[in-house]
Amino acid sequence: MQIQDVFRYFRNDLKRVEEHMEMYLRSEVRLIPEIIHHLIGSGGKRFRPLLLLAASELCGYRGERLYPLSAVIEFIHTATLLHDDVIDHAETRRGKASANRVWGNAASVLVGDYLYSKSFRLMTDDGNLAIMKLISTTTNTMSEGEVFQLIKTGDLNITEKEYLSIVEKKTSILISAACAIGGILGNAADTQIEALTRFGMRLGTAFQITDDTLDYVAKEEEFGKEIGQDLKEGKLTLPLIRTIKKCTPEERLLIRKGIEERTEGAIAEIMTLIPRYDGIPYAMAKAKSCIDDAKGFLTSFNDSEVKTALYTIADYIIERRL
């Protein structure tokens, strides 16, 4: 099975998710749907709703609650993107001008807040206490991750453990929640919900490590954001953390100077050091290890087409264009 087969398999369900999202975004304040459509309609793959749909089917649930809860996950993700771009002073997102660049920071933050509140309204309508607790904990943890990342911006002493903690709090936790909701909807055993939770965590960590690695090597037209953007924002990710650990004192000084200056020339110099210390293969090996772990958590589920789909999604994460 290829990733295209997975999207084909869930095509009708993903269409229903889109229809529900469209319905929930109606507002008499026209700026709200305008900003959200600018971001939601710009090429996102609905990766998190896809995982919720797949995990639900794995646990035997195919009912109507799939669609509002998939919208909840996608709305929370979109809210974090709006807020992130303000924090990072980003100018592009998915290959086009970021919302904050077009409408300003205030509008982007407020519409992000609208998406958060809409998500909690939809969860309240669903009425499942376990899901409400899960998402409440998830969004709280994501906020912690944002603050921790802010503290560590430009810090050459950041450890791999601290980096992975940021990844888990900012990215992995929401992907994990999407998978866990599938188990809850299917009334799966606690052990199976826990397995899906862990599957999602490892998957999310691999996803972010790969994303961070693509920032060094991918083509901008394929990746959807300016290459080297993380460095320009002072974010030290795994390929560079590995390089800092292995490089000479002189090279470390060069990196420090580059992170402080954040000019095109300084960034280019830093990027030439990454291959010297195998930063890319090191990070990708870590991502591959996370994927292997993730697959291991699904062994308790019976073999099926949807289980194969989840394996395919996992493999796709580290097969994205490098």
166, pLDDT greater than 50: yes
pLDDT digits (tens, 9 = 90+) for 13-53: 999 999 999 999 999 899 998 999 888 876 667 999 999 99
Identify the domain containing residue 63 by its residue range: 3-319
pLDDT category of residue 183 using cuts at 50, 70 and 90: very high
Count up the domains in the chain and report the number. 1
Residue 221: is its pLDDT beyond 70?
Answer: no
For the segment 169-197, the average pLDDT, to the nearest whole number, is 98
Q: What is the CA radius of gyration of the chain?
A: 20
Q: Of 322 and 52, which is predicted with more confidence?
A: 52
Task: Give the rounded percent of residues in the chain with a pLDDT score beyond 70.
Answer: 95
In the chain, what is the straight-line distance between the N-terminal and C-terminal CA atoms, in Å?
21
pLDDT of residue 40: 82
Query: What's the rounded Cα separation, in Å, for the pair 160 and 242?
Result: 8
Query: Would you state the structure tokens that stand for residue 148, as one six-digit string?
Result: 């921790």
The confidence score (pLDDT) of residue 96 equals 84
Q: What is the mean pLDDT of residues 171-182?
A: 98
- pLDDT averaged over the chain? 92
Distances (CA, A) of 284 to 209, 234, 235: 7, 21, 18
- Label residue 215 by pLDDT band (50, 70, 90): confident
93 beta partners: 96
pLDDT tens profile 222-272? 555 566 788 888 899 999 999 999 999 999 999 999 998 888 888 889 989
pLDDT value at residue 43: 61
Q: Is residue 311 over pLDDT 90?
A: yes
Could you tell me the pTM of the whole model? 0.93
What pLDDT is attached to residue 263?
Answer: 85
CB atoms within 10 A of CB 187: 11
Can you give the CATH number for the domain in which 195 is found? 1.10.600.10
**Alpha helices, DSSP H only, in the chain?**
3-9, 11-24, 31-40, 47-58, 66-87, 99-103, 105-126, 129-152, 160-167, 173-185, 190-217, 220-223, 229-232, 238-246, 249-261, 264-273, 279-296, 305-319
